[in-house]
Structure 1
């Protein structure tokens, strides 16, 4: 607790004393298995991320790891919306961010159908994004942050829900959904899922039955019965904490969403050693690990940068 209080004090001073914005705070670290790289010493690397918890934790992992390697890291994490964060990378306003293979393939590259298999999906997005946009994808982590429909155990038992195609078992008045704003209209999100399961928005799912909420309140809204179904993600720590049941994607609609470091080709060509920094980190990021890290923020109230630092320490990457 003393360490957390000290960290908070530094943050308040940084925000109020004109030093550095709170979002760019990097706690004190020493190199562990990540050793300083002479060619990276003082190299300016701008790291960005989206605004939701998992992206913040992954973004901070990148910030801390690159700092340990000697880079002069500019923390530009916490950008609202996938498209905005990605655009900063394409424009050259940022250099590096964690992204998801399915999001890259469907949302950014405009492909209609996912590629079956995690490795095949990664290779497809890696090759096309490099060719079209000059974006390098490093090998992905095992974690697959896929979309899912979550329900309470009571709802699952009441209507016999085990898979997404069971939606029609629920009477129309109770066929209600909580969906976050961004996920609602995505081809790989809510409306796309309805089409994939042969359900018509406005008929099989009345428009009035869909509540569009922020991610911050969505999970608890489902858990407290405000909606029967919630559009959630599989690695979110609140799924386990709130006892939600994830329905099987029995039509295999959702693509693989393995997280991978992406960067501008100019940065990779100048510093290919960055790939060696992230390879062992990515290998340890499983679904279970990511759920635990997310829960430390969303359930326990810890700060993303301290969660990232502590996990890197626990694995020996930094001290």
Structure 2
């Protein structure tokens, strides 16, 4: 990375001067933005940064940090707990979920820093017309509507969500829903948003930080029984690197503290809706926030 940045709220005194750090990320928009943010923060603190963002699939980035091919990335607590650490039951409290992931990964040579409020988890959303018609605000409301008027609850979902224990089957069980198979249409993620906005289905499966929620003015149902796992973004650091450069924690703290779902939706929309470059979006926002200059 070769951004012309100087310390702002991040990097005063250049505590990472002399460090050679490699940052990585997954290949989807939000992760690319996080990888850029992390690299920009390290540069402002004086480090030389190699950009290895955009690794395909979930596991590649984590393996790179584990084996030292990369030094750090933003990862999701729920992904680590369920996908990497093999648990089937999420922990409802976000801080406890992070702590459990952090403790389990010590033996893997990975150090987790405190999490952000950004929680990129599953949800159901509806367009404004459907919201005015049915007035549902929570998944319990959706369950009540499905009982009262079974034909009213039609779903657009991904194939994976339709079959995963932490997706539709588990949600139906938790909320006492019984949605007929004919009311569930499986489709690709991107199409779900447009079909939900059009009203082709009453509810669409969405990710809570997706920029299209804002741009399409969708209403997200609250998971009032806390069924879906917490997917809070948090820095995951190679432990050897962290021991050598413990200032990484203070460098990333002001950045992580500012990440929440509202910020994520705004920044993701700049890429997915407006077609902007993820790295530039990250840089512009960090300058606007005074994190770097």
Among residues 89, 94, 98, which one is paired with 2:74 in the alignment?
Answer: 98
- 3-state secondary structure, aligned to 1:110: coil
Q: Does 1:136 align with 2:114?
A: no
Provide the secondary structure at the position in 2 that maps to 1:188: coil
Aligned counterpart, 1:147: 122
TM-score normalised to the size of structure 2?
0.86
User: Who is 2:154 aligned against?
Assistant: 175
SS in 2 for 1:34: coil
Q: Mapping of 1:106-121 within 5 angstroms?
A: 106-121=82-97
Choose the corresponding residue for 1:301, options 275, 278, 286.
275
What are the residue-to-residue correspondences of 1:18-33 with 2, within 5 Å? 26-33=2-9
User: Structure 2 residue aligned with 1:188, among 136, 149, 166?
Assistant: 166
- Contact 2:155/2:205 (<8 A) preserved: no
Paired residues, number: 289
The alpha-carbon deviation at position 300 of structure 1 amounts to: 2.5
Structure 2 counterpart of 1:51: 27
TM-score, length basis structure 1: 0.80
Residues 87-107 of structure 1: CA distance to partner in whole angstroms, max 9, x if unpaired? Answer: 333344332111122222222
| Distance in 1 separating the partners of 2:192 and 2:19 | 40
Distance 1:60 1:86 in 2: 16
Contact 1:177–1:211, Cα closer than 8 Å, also in 2: yes
> Partner of 1:263 in structure 2?
237
Bigger drift between 77-86 and 32-41 goes to 32-41
2:193 aligned residue: 219
> Is this contact kept in 2: 1:88–1:94, CA < 8 A?
yes
- Give SS of 2:236's match: strand
In structure 2, relative to structure 1, the CA distance for the partners of 1:178 and 1:288 (3 Å cut) is same
Paired with 1:196 and 1:84, the residues of 2 have a C-alpha distance of 32
Q: State the Cα RMSD in Å.
A: 2.7
Q: 1:171 to 1:157 in 2, by over 3 A?
A: farther
The answer on whether the counterparts of 2:10 and 2:251 sit within 8 Å (CA) in structure 1 is yes
